[in-house]
Structure 1
Amino acid sequence: MNYLRDGDRFSKLFGSFKFFISSAFVRMMIAVLFFLLATTKTYAQKISLSEKKASLESIFQLIEQQTPYRFVFNTIILEKGKPVAIKIKNAEIGEVLDLVFRNQPLSYTIVKQNIILKEKEISEQELTVINGLVTDEKGIGYPGARISIKSKNINTLTDQEGKYKLVLTDVRDQILSIEALGYQKQELVIQDDFNIDVQLKPDLKILEEIIIVGYGEVNKRDLTGSVGEVNMKDLAKAPVKSFDDAFAGRIAGVQVTSPDGQPGAVPTIIVRGGNSVTQDNSPLYVIDGFPIEDYNINAIHPDDISSIEVLKDASSTAIYGARGANGVVIVSTKKGIKGKSVFSFNNYYGLQGNTSQIELMQPFEFVKYQLELDSARAASIYLQDGKTLESYRDEKGINWQDELFREAPMLSSYFAVRGGNKDNNYAFSSSVFDQKGTVIASGFKRYQARLVIEQALTKRFKVGVNANMSGLKSYGTIFTGSRNTFFNILINTWQYRPIAGNFSLDELLSNAQDPAVASATNYQWNPVLTATNELRDRVNSLLTSNVYGIYDISKSLKLRITAGLNLSKLRNDEFNNSKTRQGNTSSSLGQRGVNGSITFTELSNLINENTLTYQKSIDKKHFFTVLSGFTIQENKFAYYGSGAIRIPNEALGLGGLAQGVPVVIQPQNSENRLLSFLSRLNYNYKSKYLFTATLRADGSSKFTGNNQWGYFPSGSFAWNVAQEKFMQGAHFLSETKLRLSYGLTGNNRISEYAYYGAINQGGNNSYMPGGTFISGAFVSNLSNPDLKWESTAELDFGLDIGFLNQRFTLTADIYKKKTNDLLLNAQLPTSSGFSNVFQNIGAVENKGLELTLQSFNIRNDKVKWSTSFNISFNRTKLVGLAQNQKELLSTVRWNSGNDYAQNPAYIASIGRPVAMFYGFIWDGVYQFEDFDRTATGTYVLKADIPNNGNPRQNIQPGDIKYKDINDDKVVDMQDRTEIGNPNPKFYGGLANNLSFRNFDVHVFLQFVYGNEVMNVNRYLMEGGTTTLGANQFASYQNRWTPENPSNQYFRTRGWGPSVYSSRVIEDGSFIRLKTINLGYKVENKLLQRLAIANLRVYVAAQNLITLTKYSGNDPEVSVFDSALTPGLDYSAYPRAKVVTLGLDISF
């Protein structure tokens, strides 16, 4: 209200109506006199109150009981009122009301016997300034700290000097909140002092994060080695069957690749590049302290995992000695908790679909191509009943990819209960995972249960048991690996006829072969019948368990004894009925007829570990931890089974094996033992100077003689520079640690009897003197008792930096490791009678750089946003082979013929990466100008134009052309060279976590750059076959013709010799939206009454978007995934994109 303007109007009225005003004034004075007389008695009444933290409404009731006054108000404004503490006796109403409303956001007006309430305006309230200085633990002003009043929407940030200022009303008894990233949150009650200075206290939960290492744990700030961690909260937000599926891109230096997207497939994990050329490069898995080689990590449900650490440098892995060279993945599962039992449920349902489909020729282009291949025969098939090529121009083709693929459901259900008290704790969980494959009749199932119990028997002695049982079943046609041959189902899907012709779709679906071109040598087998009639079941039963006892001999000395058992039994069922190429008598494999087999692979692993741990501190400055112990481990392997061909009654399935012709499946058995002694010393001086020394001795039955024992030492040093006095001025640095480590580790991943010679019996070694058959025998390879470990020496330099009390952190590692004594076959002179012998020869070098950056961008009561980024660079180089040997050539068999199998696809040369694609450099297509035309009209290749490997007189315009490397005008084996690199230049990931109130979002991007893929699908699907009736990729429509002299795709039948070339080498770089998860945490009073502690609903997606130049289904592919043969794509199972809806609840 503008009081000045109202006053001016009153003056004018007064001047115009003086008489009226005078009369009115008299009347008013009389009325006031009567009013005062009437209320004298009322005001004379006294009020007494004595209340503590009473509500305004209760105060009003007490006043109304003692006086005739009545309160008039809107109930809404009372919500802003504060409790009242008052003690007064025999007071007037005015005095009482002043005390009641002194610190209230309300004011009152008395009109007759009514007390009218209203909300105070800002101008009516007392404004108070709160200010002060916020400093860090060193007393230096801290910028960016958040200052807020807890009960009000009032907040600010400290300036560059750490100062702040707040202006508000009703300041007394309010709670001042101070928050800064990396420091403890502080809350202070405002009293009479409005100048409030605060010194921040470091948050030890951030600074003292515990890292699990081999046979122990260490504070992260005291870590001297290189250890990668997985953010389990992020990992839990990926809708996957096992943690390895979400592992890719999460940890610097850890490369995770999948052969393809087949359900149940186990990805390959490589830590800091492959060390071995011919042996396994997989890391050692340690599951709750149990070291296991080749562990099937599908056996563990991701929700059972509490932490995953990857030991990367030799200082960290040397405690595992002969098995530590490839890195160590330590998986710790969730244990019981003290307090009442907590029940947890996590369930989600998802749908999967293919990320892409390959574009194929439509009917017109298909028939046109068939006529070019074999005009007479193609016309008899496709140009019947008066049809012409033009008849197919607008015909819609059959997309067999739609028939083979489907939208597939995925279901996961998880239950857990955890609890305990001061003497014991327990945890039990069970889960069911059911994933239907996007290819019909394929999928993966898991049934799993876990039990953890720990019991304190005395104050010093406790025992525990940890057991995980799981049943895994993968089913459906196998896409990759050694069984991936020319009749692969995906190749059949692409090549199968896109036109119905005189057949209905149902007729085509019911025929095992394309009825138009069926023959014993034709590979056009119905992909739908193949998928639904090939039985391929892999059932794996697993048990991993250990029992342990921990005895505190003294406060400083602890004894731990562990006994563990790991069992795995894999049953592999295969059956091919008459509707499959492998079981149909009309196929080229017809002599086998209906056939099947049942095989079993059994693995057992027994271990006993005994360790003593001694911890001692001197003057609270010097801290020592000494570990010593020994372990005994035994591994057994058995393989056996039965099979049969020409089974007469296919309706019996595998039950009819006994009726067929038996097939001998040679049983195999082996076992090995490992005896180890280990020790480790950790020294810590005030967390400033840190030192670790490790020594492990391993004795293995895989070796013999003087090489049966291996010794693996390591040492590391760390200097926390930020603790030095000269760094005290750098208050923005919360951590600056330099790390240096060096160590020796081994790789014993060879077969149990590799040092033995082998004797072959039977077969061509038999003879018949006098008509009597005698089986002969011969030595097939020489023994080598001097075989020993592959050993890896590694140097690592690391830097850990934290800014603004760990608001931003950077971890950087530079490493170089060299693996010596590679286990390879060395060539022998022919005079020896042997071609080669297994020896320790050659060396491989890996060096690289790893960077991990983490930041807490925003962190307050309402919004939290954090980012994690990592990137890795690794270069692998072959630095040695056998004497006078400069290279290794590797072949792969991906089709049923020998055309490509007899030519090497990979080369490993000294001084170059271990695996490089090998072949000819594609040089386009021969054009008319490359030929002379004779008088008869034929074309003859010009003398200065090199051939393509075929005889010159056979080469025609439109044929494929290769580069003549040595310029001798002849393309031959001497012109083969490196044509591509399957190894990435760098890889990594970017994760963002954002939460606002009850909403949370997780987004994770994975990227790989610089790797190449050999897409051999294009050899068969871009004009590389003479098989009539085989469809081709749509890209081949642009093939060379006289009217379309393409330089990209050769003419029909113009492929040249079946050799590898750079034509099919493609860029495999990609950026993938790997995971996105949007969740909402439900909170209301009903949930509290139901004792539900947490209820979160979420929507998640996996592999939603992939950006790549690769023309195949997916750039992340390697169907022959080994150190010497990576990055090849042949009919790989397409990777699925997944969208899920889930519910996570606990109470």
Structure 2
Amino acid sequence: MANCFSFFFTRLKKPFLLILFFLVQFSVWGQTVEVSGLVVDKEGNGLQGASVFEKGNAQKGVVTGQGGQFAIEVSKKPVVLVFSYTGYAEAEETISAGEGAPVTIVLEKKEGNLEEIIVIGYGTAKRKDFSGAVSSVQLENSPIALLPNSNPLEVLKGNVPGLSIGIANSAGDQPSMLIRGENSIKGDNNPLIVLDGVIFQGSLNDINPNDIAAVDVLKDAVSASVYGSRSANGVIAITTKRGRRGKPTINLNASYGMQHWLKQPVMMSGAEWIQSVNDRNKYTAGSIDWMKPGELENYNKGKEIDWLKAITRQGTIENYQASVSGASDNVNYYLSSSYNNNKGIITGDEFNRISVLSKVNAKITKWLEIGVDGAYNKLNYSGISANVSAAQLMSPYGVLYRDSLGHLEKYPYTQSLISPLWGVQDGTTDNLDIRQNFRLNSYAVVSIPWVKGLSYRLNYSVNADKNRSGAFNYESYYVAEGAGLDRYKPTVINGFLANANGNQRNESIFSYVVDNILNYKNSFGSHNFDVTAVATRDFLRSESVNVIGSDFSANGNSLLGIWGLHKAKVQRNDLVVSQRANIGYLARLNYNFADRYMFNASIRRDGASVFGDDIKWGNFAAVGVAWRLSAEDFMSHIAFLDDLKLKLSWGQNGNQGIKPYGTLATVVNGPSGGFRYEFSNTSNILYGLAQQALGNSQLGWEKTAAWNLGIESAWFQRRLRFDLNVYQSKTTDQLFVREIPIMTGFGSINASMGEVDNKGLELSLSTVNIQHKSFNWSTSFNYYLNRSKLVRLYGTDNDGDGKEDDDIANGLFIGRSLGAIYGYEQIGIVQESDRDYIQLNGAAPGDPKYNDIDGVPGISVNDRKILGYTKENFSMGMGNTFTYKNFELYAFVAGIFGGNDFYLKPNTAAYLTRSNRFNDNATYKPYWTSSNPGTTYPSATYSADTRFLGLQARSFVRLQDLTLSYNFRQPWVQQMQISNLRVYFAGKNLAVLTKWEGGDPELGNAVRDNTIPVPATYSFGVSATF
């Protein structure tokens, strides 16, 4: 045990030295009269860590200890004390002059409260007053915040119906995100990210997950339309933490976790591999004379290599966080620093991040408030990962090391295929990928003194990225094929100096956002108005310098590697500059009458520089209505009904899913497409300029029109709550890169055409199953279904059948869902008795047998059909939280159902060209032979594309998240001036139930894909609050 603690704190030492450098400690001392008591919830459970302070003097405050006990010195009586706790409604209590007995304060949870505040863009609203579809997730003090996530939005995975988040498999990976399906066929489908009320133009990995307090997902048009030109794919609004009124609070959190491969493929053994090679090449059974010398040596020694084990390691993930926060009546501050380090389970897969955040806002006068947020992030992705695909192709008798000193052999077969570890950590290559982000958000709010409810807010946000990446292959990388070790001698290696090469890219990205927001909020009797006008502008400029160098023979060495490209004989430098700008104007009205009838409407006009001169501007409107039936007199007799609201909304949003200059014609030169010239019969080819693509000044907005119908309800003192939404959207003027006939002299043109429809259903349900002083159990459940349909495409009818043509080459079919899988239906294996099929199709026994569906004898392209769809039919997620005394257990199970993909790749796995000797996955051992005709796999000699046999459903159920924590509430904790001390375990992707035979069913990756596997993670941590 001592060794365990020694190891743990050794890992903590350096990160905390870095983190504690940024901490500022504050202390404020009071005097005289003492007030004591308890702060509890309505079940009587003590709330440890609640803030207690004197109203009007937030610095004179304390934090409750064990069981919610507190004692505070106040200057005089009577006094008003303020009590607050995250997730609970703030309470005030007046302590009279003659009162001396301890007081008990009961706080009520805000969760599900009618006054819950949601972020709706350029402001906030009460959930009860809004007609849109918004899902909110509170992370602060939530068990899901304990999960070891590198990406800030991974924590939402499966918790928000309508939001699809891909799985993160590599270190520092940034998963894909979709809200309510794919609206765009070829354009951008990513939702807009808004950070603390301002459009965020950086990378999600620039946001520290530990700094996030809450996330609101805006899914329908009336919620997202205020962002107009970028909101067609929905909006994710992130709110970071703030200080709480009372004495300064210091939080420390540290966790260390281990990762491993949850489902590692099983490869053929040496004996099975020998048999398969003999069968593939029709060699004599049992022969081994085709082996290379190194293989024969290992075979004779009985030495087999597990190549997947050779490239795999135990991954680690470390997270260290420290913050100091607090607030007075006029100043609020939050300072944090964190260090994250992740070594993935595949050798060479690494990521680390340093993050610093400082937030300060102050109320200068009664009418002026200002705030400044500054952040710095440094992300390091440097390194090369081992090749997972190559590891599955290697001979089990191949040569891993060429000597006893552990030097790698580049060619385990002595030819052709390179070791999956070559260039990873052997000094033959360099790899650099470092990204730095600087972010500054500032704002000022002026409350107009002479007009009640009128305010002006100015937001100014700046984001700057400095990225440096590159790679270098030394001469030692280019070892010749063969068996002799002379190939590795320095004198021989130096002969490859002409092959040494590298590149380096230095990129700078600068962006800013300016928002001018005028807001008027007031009530006249039962009429409540919230009117907002916005003028906004954002700008982004990207500049990259690319340097490429090769051939270091003249220099005599390449010792400087990536930093010595200027010494290369052949050099090329490129400068790429790109910029874009947007301007927008918005007017919005939120109105409710008597908290019963709600009306929300907005109109926005946007201009985008990326579009043609004639079509830069777009108008986007939205309107929504809601009716709170539970506030009507005729519903008052239903005692167990707490809230019931019907809502309906419609709106149109835009998507500018093209890159800058996409409307302009492009010109290329050089071998990539320029005209070739030869002068004076010297065979010296020179390249001129050539126009590659046509311009299109009429290229404009993708527009998505959508409606949403929903119902929100709460019952039995809000112990049962559900939110049901059905929606339908139509996205027109799809943005395509359209290929055009070669006789025009051009290759392609950007075009707007086509339509995609989406419709779906979302359900979220939460229940409080047991509520007891020492034991509580609550459940959350969500269900999500989406159906997409391609309605129109290019408008062509080349075959003259009166129907619009499909785009078979790109898998696009009119009237069908996106993600269609098109090909031949395999119905079995050709047997020796299938003489007619063999003669008609030129097949051989052991080949795949296809279904002839067109009525014409023989298999042709007309026998292809849609075999399935990659999109799932529906998805579900369910979380359960149990608390017993000081323990808390949270378990979340997620799954997708339906959806297909290939677990075999074309011409790979069991179906590689049989002149090679690659290894196979053990799944494919029972291939067809004349003595084993009943198998489902073709013969070893078959070499064509038979992936369609590998079409499988990707349905799965995953134990996605699991946390178990213990809060120490013993007296010794309080004596150490610790207000909250917790130890915890957190696990991710711990188990998967599926019939999928490929890699991970959620990734849909096939066997032999060079895809880093999804790891299972086990993390242990401790957090303390002072």
TM-score norm. by structure 2 comes to 0.83
Higher mean C-alpha displacement, 347-356 vs 1018-1027:
1018-1027
- 1:249 corresponds to 2:158: yes
Secondary structure of residue in 2 paired with 1:705: coil
Q: Is the 2:151–2:173 contact (alpha carbons within 8 Å) kept by the matching residues of 1?
A: no
1:825 deviates by: 3.7
For structure 1, list consecutive stretches of 5 or more residues without a partner in the other structure.
1-144, 151-180, 188-199, 479-487, 891-903, 933-940, 1120-1126
* RMSD of Structure 2 on Structure 1 (CA): 3.2
In structure 2, the partner of 1:681 is 589
Aligned to 2:928: 1040
* Within-5 A mapping of 1:494-893: 494-499=392-397, 506=404, 510-514=408-412, 517-519=413-415, 522-527=416-421, 530=424, 532=426, 533-554=428-449, 555-577=452-474, 580=477, 583-584=478-479, 586=481, 593-619=499-525, 621-648=526-553, 649-664=557-572, 666-763=574-671, 764-768=674-678, 776-826=688-738, 828=740, 832-834=744-746, 836-884=748-796, 886=804, 889=807
Q: Which residue of 2 aligns with 1:103?
A: none
AA aligned opposite 1:746: G
CA–CA distance in structure 2, aligned partners of residues 570 and 1041 of structure 1? 56
Structure 1: distance between partners of 2:378 and 2:624: 42
**In 1, Cα distance between the equivalents of 2:699 and 2:400?**
66
Separation of aligned partners in 1, 2:539 and 2:205? 23
The 8 Å contact of residues 382 and 501 in structure 1, kept in 2 or not, is answered as no
Distance 2:455 2:388 in 1: 58
Shift of 1:266: 0.7
| Contact residue 584 and residue 606 of structure 2 kept, 8 A | yes
Contact 1:907–1:978 (8 Å) recurs in 2: no
Using the alignment, how far apart are the partners of 1:375 and 1:1053 within structure 2?
8
Of 341, 351, 364, the residue aligned with 1:457 is 364
Which digits, 9 at most, give the CA deviation of each residue in 1:435-487, with x for residues without a partner? 11111122110000000011222121111101221001113336xxxxxxxxx
Q: Is the 8 A contact 2:296 2:397 kept in 1?
A: no
The 1:643/1:770 distance shift into structure 2, 3 A limit, reads closer
TM superposition shift of 1:849: 0.2
Q: 1:1118 to 1:1107 in 2, by over 3 A?
A: closer
Distance, in Å, in 1 between the alignment partners of 2:585 and 2:282 is 75
What SS does structure 2 have at the residue aligned with 1:207?
coil
Q: 1:542 to 1:425 in 2, by over 3 A?
A: same
Q: Secondary structure at the match of 2:547?
A: strand
Q: Is the 8 A contact 1:363 1:396 kept in 2?
A: no
How many Å separate the matches in 2 of 1:640 and 1:443? 25
Matches of 1:250 and 1:715 in 2, distance apart? 27
Change (3 A) 1:842 1:212: same
Q: CA deviation at 1:1117?
A: 1.2
Does the CA-based 8 Å contact 1:564-1:607 persist in structure 2?
yes
Question: Equivalents in 2 of 1:863, 1:838: separation in Å?
Answer: 61
Offset of 1:317 from its aligned partner?
A: 0.6
Q: Distance in 2 between matches of 1:357 and 1:312?
A: 38
The residue type equivalent to 2:504 in the other structure is: I
Q: Is the 1:992–1:1002 contact (alpha carbons within 8 Å) kept by the matching residues of 2?
A: yes
For the 8 Å contact 2:812–2:820, the answer to whether it is kept is yes
How many residues are treated as equivalent by the alignment? 901
**1:746–1:1108: structure 2 CA closer, same or farther, 3 Å change rule?**
same
Task: Determine the structure 2 residue equivalent to 1:264.
Answer: 172
Q: Does the 8 Å contact 2:217/2:236 carry over to 1?
A: yes
Q: Does 1:237 align with 2:146?
A: yes
Distance 2:783 2:291 in 1: 55
What amino acid sits opposite 2:539 in the alignment? E
Residue 121 of structure 2: which of 181, 198, 214 is its match? 214
CA drift at 1:267: 0.5
Q: Structure 2 vs 1, CA of residues 968 and 374 (structure 1 numbering), >3 Å: closer, same or farther?
A: same
Which string of whole-angstrom CA distances, capped at 9 and with x for unpartnered residues, describes residues 823-876 of structure 1? 124455666444543221001000000000011112232112111110100011
Partners of 1:606 and 1:387 in 2: CA distance: 64
Q: Which position in structure 1 is the counterpart of 2:71?
A: none
- 1:771 CA drift (Å): 7.0
Shift in alpha-carbon separation, 1:992–1:396, aligned structure 2, 3 A: farther
Alignment deviations for residues 568-590 of structure 1 (CA, whole Å, 9 cap, x no partner):
2222221234565xx44559xx9
Partners of 2:257 and 2:869 lie apart in 1 by: 37
Equivalent residues of 2:999, 2:1007 under 8 A apart: no
| C-alpha distance in 2 between matches for 1:307 and 1:685 | 29
Partners in 2 of 1:292 and 1:149 — Cα distance? Answer: 40
State the one-letter code of the partner of 1:1130.
D
Equivalent residue, structure 1, for 2:52: none
The alpha carbon displacement at 1:591 in A equals: 11
Is 1:1144 the counterpart of 2:1023? The answer is: yes
Deviates more, 1:957-966 or 1:987-996: 957-966
Matched, 1:406 2:313: yes
Q: CA deviation at 1:1138?
A: 0.9
Letter in structure 2 aligned against 1:909: F
Moved more, 960-969 or 376-385: 376-385
Q: Percent identity?
A: 28
- Structure 1 Cα separation of the partners of residues 610 and 585 of structure 2: 17
Question: 2:261 touches 2:1013 (CA, 8 Å); kept in 1?
Answer: yes
- Of 946, 949, 957, which residue of structure 2 is paired with 1:1063? 949
Query: Which of 237-246 and 400-409 deviates more?
Result: 237-246
Question: Are positions 1:1105 and 2:991 aligned together?
Answer: yes
CA contact (8 A) 1:1117 1:1128 kept: no
1:767: how far off?
3.2
Secondary structure of the structure 2 residue equivalent to 1:208:
coil
CA offsets 1:750-785 (integer angstroms, 9 cap, x no match) = 111111112334555143576798854333222111
Residue 508 of structure 1: CA displacement?
8.6
Partner Cα distance (1:585, 1:596) in 2 = 19
Does the alignment pair 1:443 with 2:353? no
> Is residue 826–residue 882 contact of structure 1 (8 Å, CA) maintained in 2?
no
Q: Distance in 1 between matches of 2:733 and 2:501?
A: 44
- Partner letter of residue 1009 of structure 2? Y
> Is the CA contact 1:415–1:430 (under 8 Å) kept in the aligned structure 2?
yes
Q: Does residue 466 of the first structure (1) align with residue 466 of the second (2)?
A: no
Letter in 2 for 1:576: N
Give 1:613's aligned amino acid: N
Distance 1:1112 1:502 in 2: 26
- Asked if structure 2 preserves the Cα contact closer than 8 Å seen for 1:464 and 1:549, the reply is yes
1:594 Cα deviation from its structure 2 partner: 2.8
C-alpha distance in 1, partners of 2:209/2:244? 19
Question: Is the CA contact 1:338–1:420 (under 8 Å) kept in the aligned structure 2?
Answer: yes
Q: Is the 8 A contact 1:920 1:1061 kept in 2?
A: no
Which amino acid is 2:520 matched to? Y
Matched, 1:369 2:267: no
> Pick from 828, 833, 840: which aligns with 1:929?
833
| CA offset digits 1:405-443 (Å, max 9, x no partner) | 011222111000001311212111000001111111221
Higher alpha-carbon deviation: 848-857 or 774-783: 774-783
For 1:875, give the aligned amino acid. R
Partner in structure 1 of residue 1013 of structure 2:
1134
Does structure 1 retain, via aligned residues, the 8 Å contact 2:401–2:409?
A: no
How far apart, CA to CA, are the structure 2 residues paired with 1:925 and 1:579?
A: 48
- TM-superposed deviation, 1:975: 2.5
Distance 1:493 1:204, change over 3 A: closer
Quote the Cα distance in structure 2 between the aligned partners of 1:985 and 1:429. Answer: 42
Decide whether aligned partners of structure 1 residues 505 and 994 sit closer, same or farther in structure 2, where only a CA change above 3 A counts. Answer: farther
Alignment-mate amino acid for residue 241 of structure 1: S
